Amino acid sequence: MKQILALLCTLAWFSFPAAAQKTPTPKVKSRPAAAGGVVVGKTIYARNCLTCHQADGGGVDGMNPPLTQTTYVLGDKTRLVKVILNGLQDEDIDGEPYNNVMPAFDILTDQEIADVLTYIRSNFGNKASEVTPAEVKAIRATNRK
């Protein structure tokens, strides 16, 4: 409950400046916009990813891989975006088997995928660069299942 309250507070905190900034400025790399994306990313995470990968991104032993410090999350963005678009199963993550099935999340928009991946790559102790909607769009265009 506390976490939900905290999330709501952070949402309220960020959503005003983020919304205010989105309309006037065209497409400039600005910190607040990225932070807004991360907040949206957190809600997308809660709705689609949290049950399996858990609130702390630590995953579940032998079932759902952690999102902390794995090459899948921190490494090649194309591979990472394709995991979201196509789902993943029967694959070891950094040498560890995980037996659950990840479904495809290709119903998410380019923006949503960019937001949630940016959130994951900059949380749970991760410090990797953001993923942009343009990158997701390009990968989706060439994605073959």
Partner 1 sequence: MKSTFTRSLLLAPVLLGSLSVLALRHASTVVPDPDNAGLTLPAGFSALKVAETGGRARHITITPQGTIFVKLNRPNAAGKGLLMLRETSGGKAEVASAFGTYGGTGVYSTPEYLYASSDQDVFRYKLNGKGEVVNPEQPEKIVTGLLNRRQHESKSITLDREGNLYVNVGAYSNTCQVKDRQKGSLGQPNCPILDSAGGIWQFRADKLNQTYGDGIRYATGLRNVVGLDWNAQANQLFVMQHGRDQLYDNFPALYDSKQSAELPAECMYALKKGDNAGWPYLYYDGQQRKKMLSPEYGGDGKKQAPGNYLEPAAAYPAHTAPNALLFYTGTMFPERYRHGAFIAFHGSWNRAPEPQKGYYVVFQPFKNGKPSGDWEVFADNFAGSAANAAAGRPEHKPCGLAQGPDGSLYVTDDKKGTIYRIVYAKK
**Which residues contribute to the site for partner 1 (CB under 8 A)?**
3-4, 46-48, 50-52, 54-56, 58, 60-64, 87, 89-90, 97, 99-104, 107
CB-count exposure of residue 36 (10 Å: 0-12, 13-18, 19+)? buried
Among residues 118, 71, 120, which one has the least CA distance to residue 95?
A: 71
Nearer to partner 1, 51 or 109 (CB): 51
Among residues 91, 94, 11, which one has the least CA distance to residue 45?
A: 11
Nearer to partner 1, 102 or 113 (CB): 102
What minimum distance in Å lies between the beta carbon of 7 and partner 1?
9
What minimum distance in Å lies between the beta carbon of 26 and partner 1?
34
Nearer to partner 1, 21 or 70 (CB): 70
Nearer to partner 1, 33 or 46 (CB): 46
CB-count exposure of residue 7 (10 Å: 0-12, 13-18, 19+)? middle
What minimum distance in Å lies between the beta carbon of 96 and partner 1?
10
Contact 55, 67 (CB under 8 A): no
What minimum distance in Å lies between the beta carbon of 28 and partner 1?
34
Structure tokens of 117? 């991946």
